[in-house]
Structure 1
Amino acid sequence: MSSRIESKKQVVEEIKGKIDKAQAMVLVDYRGLNVEEVTELRKKFTEAGVEYKVYKNTMMRFAFKDQGLEEFNKHLVGPNAIAFGFEDPVAPAKITNEFAKEHEELDIKAGVVDGKIIGLDGIKELAELPPKEVLIAQVLGGLNGPISGFANVLQANIKNLVYALNAVKEKQEA
């Protein structure tokens, strides 16, 4: 009996550890997906560095409560799986959202990003963000614009100064 309790405590500790390390999590109801579809979803998660696990709701309730995310527990009804994004906070949302578009049986319930619980709308917004590389390029492009404009203004002023000095020189020579 006590070994059973110990194994349950280990599962709760495992979930708590994943909650601590995860940048983002997405909870889904996978009812209606067949084995091939679940395998395809797992493969997409694995390729993106996202861990997809099925835990008993009671174990997840204890873990989320201990981590101060008790509000998340209201979503733990029915068969659930959870995707933990450890490296990219957008990956779990992006993959589940794209997969749900193709497979209506996958029901996205809720998520957690940086310790904040988000609903379906928040997950969809997160999923629509461009990839990290594109965002960085956009920021750098935005920074580059004002710098280029400033350089052009400086260059124009220097040209005008050269023209003025040249005009003064020509006037003195004449």
Structure 2
Amino acid sequence: MDRTQKEQLVAFLKEVFDDSGLVVVTQQSGLTVSEVSELRSDARGNGASYKVAKNRLAKIALDGTKFEALKPLFSGPTAVTTSVDPIAAAKVCVEFAKKNEKLTIVGGAMGDTILDADGVKALANLPSLDELRGKLVGLLQAPATKVAGVTQAPAGQLARVFGAYGSQGEAA
């Protein structure tokens, strides 16, 4: 890799770090090409990206970003998973690490908050942004449904009472 390619990679990584809401640093030793391809595919499918980068270049790209405190995590065979959604990258890494012990979560950062491996795992257990939106819509619709049911209930009860009186009058 010549100097211009390195500069382009650093610029690309810097842009990725600036646009990301979450960065997860992992170590992968012994992952096969097909396993890495599967991980990349899972990441893309969930709105995240997985990138293997040279530690020295990644540390240079971290300079001046909100994730600058992650520099000490870059040692050994590392890779970076990033996402705009603050949960997607964590979910992808944790799910893949459950299936494949060759991938180890080292840590991560969400904004200015540095996370250890347990913090990333805890973050992965939270519902995603889409799941939260669905729950919120359900909560907003529930009161309207209940109000409609309550307003219709008295009319239904009155109709039953009138019907009972009417049937008593016919029987007499």
Q: Shorter-chain TM-score: what band?
A: 0.7 to 0.9
2-side partners of 1:47 and 1:124: how far apart? 19
What does 1:20-169 align with in structure 2 at a 5 Å threshold?
20-86=18-84, 88-145=85-142
TM-score (norm: length of structure 2): 0.75
1-side partners of 2:75 and 2:38: how far apart? 24
Contact 2:94–2:124 at 8 Å: present in 1 too?
yes
Letter in 2 for 1:127: A
Distance 1:30 1:19, change over 3 A: same
Letter in 1 for 2:119: G
Task: Give % identity.
Answer: 35
Task: Let me know the Cα RMSD of the aligned residues.
Answer: 2.7
1-side partners of 2:96 and 2:111: how far apart? 23
DSSP-derived class of the 1:112 partner: strand
TM-score (norm: length of structure 1): 0.74
DSSP-derived class of the 1:32 partner: coil
Contact 2:29–2:77 at 8 Å: present in 1 too?
yes
Displacement over 4 Å in runs of 4+ = 144-157
1-side partners of 2:153 and 2:44: how far apart? 54
1-side partners of 2:12 and 2:130: how far apart? 32
Letter in 2 for 1:14: F
Distance 1:150 1:49, change over 3 A: closer
Unaligned segments of structure 1, at least 5 residues:
163-174
DSSP-derived class of the 2:30 partner: coil
> What's the CA shift for 1:93?
0.8
Bigger mean CA offset, 33-42 vs 69-78: 33-42
1-side partners of 2:127 and 2:15: how far apart? 29
1-side partners of 2:132 and 2:66: how far apart? 31
Unaligned segments of structure 2, at least 5 residues:
159-172
